[in-house]
Amino acid sequence: MGFFKDFKDDFSQAVNELMPADDNLETSTNEDDVEVNTLEGEVDVETELSKLDGLLEQVTKQEAEKVAAARSAAEMAARNASAPTERAAVPVPASVPEPERNETVSNITKATQEERKMADNTTAPVTNNQSAPVSDEVSVITEGTIIKGDIVSNGSLDVRGQVEGNVGCNGKLVVTGVVNGNSSASEFFADAAKIEGEVVSTGTIKIGLGSVIIGNVTSTSAVIAGAIKGDIDVQGPVVVDTSAVVMGNIKSRSVQINNGAVIEGFCSQCYSDVDVQSLFNGNAQKGNE
């Protein structure tokens, strides 16, 4: 009996030695419980998939917006690039009917012609308007007055100052001052005047003592007591007084040259009634006979 008891004790001791202690078992059990407890919360697969679906929708939306923005930018660039060509290719709309266009062209032509006429009038010399009735009024340009521009009058003019331009009147033009321009009147009288320009009169021209004219003189009759540098063309008689100095040719119907007058040029009575050529031709024929 003692032998079995000892054997039992030894066997129990050997088993105890081979098997882990209770503490170790409890500890391992606790550790296993901890590890298992970390997985107690089950994963919600549908929730996680829904989250992924939401993220996928957001990413897809962003990509779609980017693509749309890129397309709109490309379309704008293409429109800007093709805009000049399209504008050049588009014809001008014929909104104005053909008759109105013709009227517009004619109006433009008339305006151009009027501008040309105005330009010609500004450059052409001023002449008196002979068709207008002659007025009895007399316009006076006083001494010390300087006028730069043309003067036109239906009456008479008395120029005592200075005129830088053409002068024209239908009446009598009296110059005792200075005129730098052409003069035109029905009658012309200069006394101690200084004139640089042509003098034209439909009547009588009288150049008084001390007057100086640089320009041609044209009239129906003339009395010259001053100085003239230019040609004299008179349809009627010409009287060259003692104090006169003429540097130019004289054409007239008749000419009277007083003693003391100075003429540098030739005189011609081309407007006379005498046919000089016929006289010489007749004498030549008689001599031949």
Q: How far is CA 231 from CA 12, 218, 248, 266, in A?
A: 173, 8, 5, 10
166 in a domain, yes or no? yes
Q: Could you give the CA distance from residue 285 to residue 240 in angstroms, rounded to a whole number?
A: 37
Q: pLDDT for 198-252, tens place per residue?
A: 999 999 999 999 999 999 999 999 999 999 999 999 999 999 999 999 999 999 9
The residue among 162, 208, 153 whose CA lies nearest residue 186 is 153
105 in a domain, yes or no? no
Q: Domain range spanning residue 245? A: 138-268
Report DSSP state, residue 161: S
Bridge pairing between strands 151-153 and 167-169: parallel
CA angle 144, 197, 212 (to 5 degrees): 70
Q: What share of the chain is helix, strand, coil (3-state, %, to 5)?
A: 40, 25, 35
129 in a domain, yes or no? no
53 in a domain, yes or no? no
Domain identity same for 146 and 262: yes
Q: What is the pTM of this model?
A: 0.54
Q: pLDDT for 76-92, tens place per residue?
A: 777 766 655 444 444 55
101 in a domain, yes or no? no
Number of domains in the chain: 2
149 in a domain, yes or no? yes
97 in a domain, yes or no? no
The list of the chain residues with pLDDT below 70 reads 1-60, 62-63, 67, 80-133, 282-289
209 in a domain, yes or no? yes
Domain identity same for 148 and 264: yes
